[in-house]
Structures are given as C-alpha cells and as structure tokens.
Amino acid sequence: MTVGNMESAQLFDAGNKGRGLRATKELRAGEVVFAEPSFSAVVFDSLATQVCHSCFRRQAKLHRCAQCNFAHYCDRTCQTACWDEHKQECAAIKKMGKWPGENVRLAARTLWCIHKDTGIVSDSQLVSVDHLEAHVADLPKETSAAQGGCDTFLEYCSYGRSSLPSTTSHTSMELTLSDQRGLQAVGVGLFPNLGLVNHDCWPNCSVILNHGNQSAVSSALHSQRRIELRAAGHISEGEELTVSYVDFLNLSTGRQKKLQERFHFQCSCEQCSEHVKDDLMTAAAESEGNKPSADKVKEVTAFSKECVEKIERLRAEKDYHEVVRLCRDCLEKQENVLADTHLYVLRVLSVASEVLSYLQSFSEAAGYARRMVEGYMKLYNPNNAQLGLAIMRAGVAHWHAGQIEVGHGFICRAVAILMVTHGPNHPITRDLESMRMQTEMELKMFKQKECVYHATRDAALMKQRLLKRKQRT
C-alpha cells in the first residue's frame, strides 16, 4: 500500500516484529522518507506556563487562556490555531478546577480527537485512528500511580466525550518534542506513521522534529510539531526502514532493558545479540602496554557510576561550579584506568564540556569536547544526530577559545552530518551554516593578518641587517 506523500515507503509483514515499513525505491542519505504532523501533543506539566501550547516555542511572555487559566499561547494566531484541539480540554479543566498530568492530557486529547473524526486522519496517513485508540487505552494504566489513578482519567475524559476505547494492540509512536532549537524537551506528541517504523539499535533512518520556519509566525510554514523520517545512509529498494527509539550510547543490556520497559519488546537486533561495541564502552585504558589491574578498573567504574549520578543531580540543581569540580575529580580518577570510549568517561566529558561552555571557560571545554568527539566517533553511526551535535559543540568551544582553524574544521564536519540528519532547512542546521561562514571569514582574516605580520617582520629584519651592514662599513 502506498498512500499520499508516503510514496517512498510501504507497509509489509516484518516477521516476528509484526508490521513494518520498507523502501519502495532507492534512497540517498538525507532524503526525507516521509513527514507527518503529530496526531496530538501536549506541553510538559513543568513548562505549561513557559511554552506555547500551540507551536511549542519557548517565549518570555505568553498569553493565558481566559477560560481554563491553564493553556498559554504566543498570541491570538496560536490560540485560534489550537482551539479545536484545546476546546474539550479547556472545558474539562474548567469543570475539574485542576489539570491532570501530561500523559493523561495527551491520552484525553487523542481520544477526543478520535471520536470527533471518523476513521482516516488524512489520506496521507497509513494508519487509521482506530489503531491509535488501543495505545491511548494503555496510557492511563501505565501512569495511573503517578497521575492519581484511572478514575481521574475517566472523570476528566467524560467532561469532553464519554465512550472509551476497547481494542488491545497498539501502533502509534510517542515522541518527546523539543523546543525550536532542539535543545530542551518541552512536550510529548503522538505520531501514527512513525509508529510503523520498527526499531533497530543501528538504524538506517533518523527521525527529527522540524517546526518549520520560525520567523513566519502566521504563514503555512509555521507548522506545528512536524517530524521527518530521513534516510541516514544509502537504502536499497525493498530494505526495511528502521529508527532507534533509544540512544545507542548504552550497553546492549541497558538498551534492551529500556526498550522492554518503555516499548514492551525484546530487542534482537544485530548490535544487541552480538553485543557489538559493548567491549569499547567498558574498556580499560591502555598506555604503552600498561594495563590497570581488574580490581582498579572495578573500583574506578563503581566510583564513576556514583559520581555521574551526583553530577546529573547537581546539574539539575544548576550548581554548575560543583558540577565542574566533580567532573574534574572524576576524570582524574579515570585517567589511565578507563579508556576514552568508556561510557562513564564519555558521560563526564559530555557534561564537563557543556557546563564549561556555559560558564564561558572555552579552552577547558574545548579539550573535553575534543576527547568526547573522538570517543563518539568510535561508537556512533557516522550519520548519527547525537554525534553531529557533539561535533558542533566541540566546534563552537574551539572557536570561542580562539582556536579558529580547529573550530572551523569541527563545524564543517558537523554541517555534513546535520545536512543528513536534520536537513538544510532545520533551524539548527541554519545556525551551524552561519557559524561555518563566520569561522571561514575569521580564518581568512586571521591568515591575512598573519601574512601582513610576517611581511612587516621580514621588512624589519631586513632593515636591521642593512643597518648592521652599514655600521660595519
């Protein structure tokens, strides 16, 4: 079956994985396989007053919905665009006098939406909304403890529509939504077609949120919560399309555990069943044939685990100076014991480079970012979005530290990856492209200055020599 804009993909029976999508034609790296808007989406509870409930942008000043006092919008355009989605939610919140958590809100929004429509959401989508209902039925169960129970959900829903779904299998894909720069998770959305793309820890596609042109607020380009599935490399006709639901930077057992907990399946991809790269992610350092003892490795690993947890906690509390102190301490203990591809070393390097950049200690940040990128290169797929963003961070840190040539090199490499994973129109790619041009210009100016400097120095030396010769004669 090929429908609408999904001409590059079709449904097929993927054996024990159930249904899957496969390519109907050869795809090149960076090609968009399909794009789709979210079926429904909600802003996280914690950011409900800081992020627009319509376009998911973070704004300093938002206008509150006068009916429910809960929803916030950039302006009237955003509010009007979102009213159809918010209408029932607004009534329910008003009647209850409080708002339920994000999972319940998402489930309810989806339900109300399903009962409003009749079957196919749009002809470009492969899945009818009936399949979505089942997933929604799962949601309140999963979150009942945290959200105050099913009763709340039923009560809340009943204020919008009454009947509840009863089917059992689920297909839709829940995805965390990030702000316009892709830096902070701000909400969660439901994407029906994305749910058809099976998981693989070493996938041939990547999924990216692209909210469109951020300066065109009221135009059609100001799209909401749109995702793109992009080919991460060459894909042959008939090949199954896969994405990774989890970050690759975990041991195979860790990824399997996460996938089991969150998506209820056992990953049997090649990377997991062969434990590919687990050895690198737990490797001990080796310098000039000197290997640390097994006990030492064990001790430092345990110390690092504890330290990483502490660092994460302190970072959440924004105690950045303490974070930096702990990072330095941990890296010192890890030196000559754990390899630079070890997960705990990479975690610390990542936080250290990020926080030090934030604190504008660019030289130190650059050193850590460089080590991090070297480790990532050995672990990640060459066209992985996380790798691209890490290289970008290394580039910016070197640039700001005054190492323009190295910085420019990193930035160029990051552009090449993000052109594939994010595409040329994504706001991050655009930012990066302007940094590439800026560093290129600075580099040229720097080289020119160097030429002038050499020329003046040569001239001065010549003059001195001439003077000396004159004195001698």
Residue 207 in the binding site for Zn ion (CB under 5 A): no
Binding positions for Zn ion, 59-88, rule CB under 5 A: 65, 67-68, 71, 74, 78
Instruction: Please check whether residue 180 is in contact with residue 223, taking contact to mean a CB–CB distance below 8 angstroms.
Output: no
Judged by CB under 5 A, which of 41, 42, 51, 90 binds Zn ion?
90
State the number of CA atoms in the 13 A half-sphere of 415 facing the CB.
17
Q: CB under 5 A: which stretch of 54-62, 231-239, 428-436, 442-450 binds Zn ion? A: 54-62
Q: Which is nearer to Zn ion, 78 or 331 (CB)?
A: 78
Q: CB under 5 A: which stretch of 11-19, 35-43, 201-209, 289-297 binds Zn ion? A: 201-209
Q: CB under 5 A: which stretch of 101-109, 165-173, 200-208, 295-303 binds Zn ion? A: 200-208
- Token digits of residue 416: 């090449």
Q: Which is nearer to Zn ion, 208 or 272 (CB)?
A: 272
Residues 33-52: x where in contact with Zn ion by CB under 5 A, - otherwise, as a string: -------------------x
Q: How far apart are CA 242 and CA 264, in angstroms?
A: 17
Residue type at position 418: L
Q: Which is nearer to Zn ion, 48 or 126 (CB)?
A: 48
State the number of CA atoms in the 13 A half-sphere of 240 facing the CB.
18
Q: Which is nearer to Zn ion, 52 or 435 (CB)?
A: 52
Q: Which is nearer to Zn ion, 46 or 218 (CB)?
A: 218
Instruction: Please check whether residue 383 is in contact with residue 417, taking contact to mean a CB–CB distance below 8 angstroms.
Output: yes
Q: Which is nearer to Zn ion, 64 or 318 (CB)?
A: 64
Q: Which is nearer to Zn ion, 63 or 131 (CB)?
A: 63
Total of chain residues touching Zn ion, rule CB under 5 A = 14
Binding positions for Zn ion, 237-266, rule CB under 5 A: none
Judged by CB under 5 A, which of 201, 208, 235, 369 binds Zn ion?
201
Residues 409-438: x where in contact with Zn ion by CB under 5 A, - otherwise, as a string: ------------------------------
Q: How many CB atoms lie within 10 A of CB 28?
A: 10
Measured CA angle at 322 (ends 319, 327), to 5 deg? 120
Residue from 275, 270, 281 nearest 199 by CA: 270
Q: Minimum distance between the CB of residue 248 and Zn ion, rounded to whole angstroms? A: 9
- Pairing of β 72-73 and β 19-23: unpaired
- Token digits of residue 245: 């639901």
Q: Minimum distance between the CB of residue 61 and Zn ion, rounded to whole angstroms? A: 12
Please list, residue by residue across 326-360, b when 16 or more beta carbons sit within 10 angstroms of its beta carbon and e when fewer do. bbeebbebbebbbbbbbbbbbbbbbbbbbbbbeee
User: Which residues pair with residue 175 across a beta bridge?
Assistant: 189
Residue 219 in the binding site for Zn ion (CB under 5 A): no
Where does residue 466 rank: exposed (0-12), middle (13-18), buried (19+ CB within 10 A)?
exposed
Name residue, tokens 């809960």.
70
Q: Minimum distance between the CB of residue 246 and Zn ion, rounded to whole angstroms? A: 8
The site for Zn ion (CB under 5 A) is made up of: 52, 54-55, 65, 67-68, 71, 74, 78, 90, 201, 267, 269, 272
